[in-house]
Structure 1
C-alpha cells in the first residue's frame, strides 16, 4: 500500500514538472534572439521565478493559445538585452516590428482568460484576419495604414491570394499592416459597404489610412503581386489622387 502511494506521488510530481516545463526556457541572449526570430509572432514571459505574480496564469494561457509560440526567461542578462526591467509578458511582432508589453507589477489582477485575450488581440501577422478581437490590436498599432484584401470565404484561390500578399507584406513593414476581411460573414458587411463593394464583387483590394482618415480602392482587375506592390508604392509616393473621405472608419470597419 505504502509503495503504491509513493509511486503515485512520484508520478504526479514528474507529471507536474513535465507540464510546467512544457514551455522552453531562454537561458542566454542568443537563444532569446533565435526564439524571437523564429515566427511572425512570439511571446515571452519574463519572471523572477515560478512563484512570481502571473507565472502560473501565463503558462496556462500559453498552453491555450497554441498559435503563438511561447517561452519563459528568468535570466537577468537576457532581460537587459531585451530592455526588460521587471516581470513582464512581452509579445514580439514582425508585422509592425513592435513589442506589446504587459508589466505585471502594474496589473492589479492577472487571470488566465485575460492573458488569452491579450495574446489574441495582439496576434498581428504579415496578413491578419479582421475580426472584433484583432481589430483592437490593428487600430492600436503605431502603423495606421492598412492594405485590405476583401475575399469571399476561404476557398483555395483565396488562400493562395492571402499567401501571396503575406509574402509581399515584409516589404512594407512599418508602413502597412496587411489585413484580410471575409466578405461572406455578415459581421463584415459594413466593411464592404464602407468601400462601396458587395460580396459578388470580391476579391478586391483597398487601402485605409488612419492618419488622414481616407480610403482608396484598387481598380478591378487581376490581383497580382505587382499590381498590389505598385498600389502600395503609389500611396507612399502620394500619387493616389482619386480619394474619398473615410469618415468614421474606426467604427465602420
Structure 2
C-alpha cells in the first residue's frame, strides 16, 4: 500500500525536482562561462597602459605595482617625460618586472585629475596592491633608466649587498658617483633609513655592507655613508654620531649636494639635479667657454664655491650654447653683460646681481656673503625715482620716467647709459658732470644718465656700457648713436652740430634701425 501511494505521488513531485535541477545546472554552466570569459586587455601604447575612468579601477586590481603618469598632451614637459616613460615601459616588460606603467590624459579624464588633485603636469603616482586612496608620489625622476631603477627599488631591494673586497671595489668603479652604506647592523634603524633614501634617488647606485674587512680597508670605525666620486674630492663621508639617529631628509641632502661638482654646468641633464638638491640659493656664472679669459675666471669661481657649497649651488651657464638662450632671457643677460654673475632664491623667486667689474674669487665670495647676511638688494626692474632727479645739471633717469623724458617734443636729450661699478663708466662720469654744467641753462638740450644695470628699458637696445645716445626733440622713434671720442670737446662739438641741424618741432618718421647715425 505504501508503495502504491508513493507511485501515485511521484508524478506530482518530479516536475518540481526537474525544475530545480535544471536551474542549478544552468547556473553552474553560466558560472563556468563567466570564469572562462576573459575581458579584453586594457589598451597599450608603447607598452604603457592607457587608463580612463572606466578601466582605472580594473588596472589597480590587476596590477600589484602601478605607476601612473598624469600628463597633458599639449604640454612640452609632459611629452618629453612621456617619451622616457615609454622607453622605461619597454625595458620593464623585457625584464618581466612586476611594476606596470600607465598613463592618464588629464585633459580628457578630468574626474580622475580632480580625484587625485592633479593641478600641474606631468605628475606621477605609484599605487601598491590596489590601494586607490594612498598612492606614493614619484618625483625627480626624468629618464628611462631612472624610472626602471625607481620601480625596481620599490618592488625589490633598494641597495646591493656588497659581500667581499672584489665586489665592493667593482661596485665603486662602476659609475661616476656611487653611495655605500657601512653598517655594523644591517637590520638596524639607520640601515632602514638608508634603504628608504635609496628608493628616492634612482640616479645613483647604492650598496651596503657590514663586512669588517670593508671597514678596515676604508678606515671606518663606526656606521658611515660614503660617496665615492671620480672627480674632485674622490671620497666624501657622513659619519653617524653615537646616540644620533640618521634621518632621510639629512641623508638625502648630503647625497644630492655632494653628487654635484663644485660648479655644475647647466644643461638638460643637470637641470633636474640642480633643482632637486634642496638648496634654494643658486649662483650662476654666465660666460663664454670659448673666450680667452674663461679658464682663469672659472678657476676663481670654483675656488669661491669650495667654501659655500653647503649653502649655495654654483652653476655655469655657457652663453655660447644656443640652448641656453632661455636662461639668458630669464635673467635678462645681454651679450654686453657677459661675463655676468647672478644669484636667485628659487623659493622666493628673487634675483640678485653681482655689482663687480670682474669675476674674481674675492668679488664672488663678498657678493655671496653679503647675500647670506641679508645685505644685498634684490635686482629691480626700475629704481625708485629720486625726488631731486631733475634738480642737478645731469638729470637722473630710471625705467619709469625714461620714455617720458627722452621722447619729448621740446628738448633733445643726450643720455649716458652706464654701470656704476664699471671702470670705464667711472672714467666718463666726471666729464659727463662737466657737460651737464655746460648745458645746464640750454633751452633745447638736456644731459641725462641712467644706471642700465638697475633699470630695464624696452624702448632702447643697449649694446655695451658706457653707451651714449642722442634723442632728437620731437621724435619718438629716432635715436642717434654716439661713437666718437669721449671727451668734453668732442661732446660739445657733437651737440652744437645736432642742436643746429634740427628744429624742436621737426618730426622724423624713421625708426631706430633706419637712423643709426654712426658718428
TM-score bracket, normalised by the shorter chain, equals 0.5 to 0.7
Give, in whole Å, the separation in 2 of the partners of 1:228 and 1:59.
Answer: 35
Could you say which residue in structure 2 is the equivalent of 1:211? 347
Could you say which residue in structure 1 is the equivalent of 2:162? 47
Quick check: 1:152–1:199 contact (8 Å CA) kept in 2? no
Deviations, residues 87-132 of structure 1 (Å, cap 9, x unaligned): xx956797xx887xxxxxxxxxxxxxxxxxxx9x984111111111
Could you say which residue in structure 2 is the equivalent of 1:231? 367
Match of 1:172 among 305, 308, 320: 308
Quick check: 1:46–1:74 contact (8 Å CA) kept in 2? yes
Q: Which has the larger radius of gyration?
A: 2
Q: CA deviation at 1:218?
A: 1.5
Match of 1:81 among 217, 222, 228: 222
Structure 1 residues 144, 220: CA separation in 2 closer, same or farther (over 3 Å shift)?
same
Quick check: 1:146–1:179 contact (8 Å CA) kept in 2? yes
Q: CA deviation at 1:236?
A: 0.6
Pick the structure with more helix per residue: 1
Q: CA deviation at 1:213?
A: 1.9
Residue 152 of structure 2 is aligned to residue 152 of structure 1: no
Structure 1 residues 139, 242: CA separation in 2 closer, same or farther (over 3 Å shift)?
closer
Could you say which residue in structure 2 is the equivalent of 1:127? 263
Quick check: 2:290–2:320 contact (8 Å CA) kept in 1? no
Quick check: 2:353–2:378 contact (8 Å CA) kept in 1? no
Could you say which residue in structure 1 is the equivalent of 2:379? 243
Quick check: 1:122–1:134 contact (8 Å CA) kept in 2? no
**Aligned to 1:223, what secondary structure does the other structure show?**
coil
Structure 1 residues 129, 76: CA separation in 2 closer, same or farther (over 3 Å shift)?
same
**Aligned to 2:352, what secondary structure does the other structure show?**
strand
Structure 1 residues 230, 185: CA separation in 2 closer, same or farther (over 3 Å shift)?
same
Give, in whole Å, the separation in 2 of the partners of 1:208 and 1:91.
Answer: 30
Give, in whole Å, the separation in 1 of the partners of 2:268 and 2:221.
Answer: 35
Quick check: 1:145–1:209 contact (8 Å CA) kept in 2? yes
Quick check: 1:145–1:208 contact (8 Å CA) kept in 2? yes
Give, in whole Å, the separation in 2 of the partners of 1:165 and 1:176.
Answer: 12
- Which sections of structure 1, spanning at least 5 residues, go unmatched? 1-44, 100-118, 246-253
Higher relative contact order (CA 8 A, sep 6+): 1
Q: CA deviation at 1:137?
A: 1.5
Deviations, residues 179-236 of structure 1 (Å, cap 9, x unaligned): 1110111111111111111234210001011232211122351222222111101101
Structure 1 residues 51, 236: CA separation in 2 closer, same or farther (over 3 Å shift)?
closer
Match of 1:202 among 338, 363, 388: 338
Match of 2:327 among 191, 204, 208: 191
Give, in whole Å, the separation in 1 of the partners of 2:324 and 2:377.
Answer: 27
Structure 1 residues 150, 186: CA separation in 2 closer, same or farther (over 3 Å shift)?
same
**Aligned to 2:363, what secondary structure does the other structure show?**
helix
Quick check: 1:152–1:182 contact (8 Å CA) kept in 2? yes
Deviations, residues 143-193 of structure 1 (Å, cap 9, x unaligned): 221111100123341121111111111221311111111011111111111
| TM-score (structure 1 length as normaliser) | 0.54
Could you say which residue in structure 2 is the equivalent of 1:36? none
Q: CA deviation at 1:46?
A: 6.1
Quick check: 2:343–2:352 contact (8 Å CA) kept in 1? yes
**Aligned to 2:286, what secondary structure does the other structure show?**
strand
Within-5 A mapping of 1:11-50: 47-48=162-163
Quick check: 1:124–1:134 contact (8 Å CA) kept in 2? no
Deviations, residues 19-50 of structure 1 (Å, cap 9, x unaligned): xxxxxxxxxxxxxxxxxxxxxxxxxx862359
Report the number of matched residues: 171
Quick check: 1:122–1:137 contact (8 Å CA) kept in 2? no
**Aligned to 1:227, what secondary structure does the other structure show?**
helix
Give, in whole Å, the separation in 2 of the partners of 1:239 and 1:189.
Answer: 30
| TM-score (structure 2 length as normaliser) | 0.28
Quick check: 2:179–2:227 contact (8 Å CA) kept in 1? no
- Which sections of structure 2, spanning at least 5 residues, go unmatched? 1-159, 181-206, 239-254, 382-519
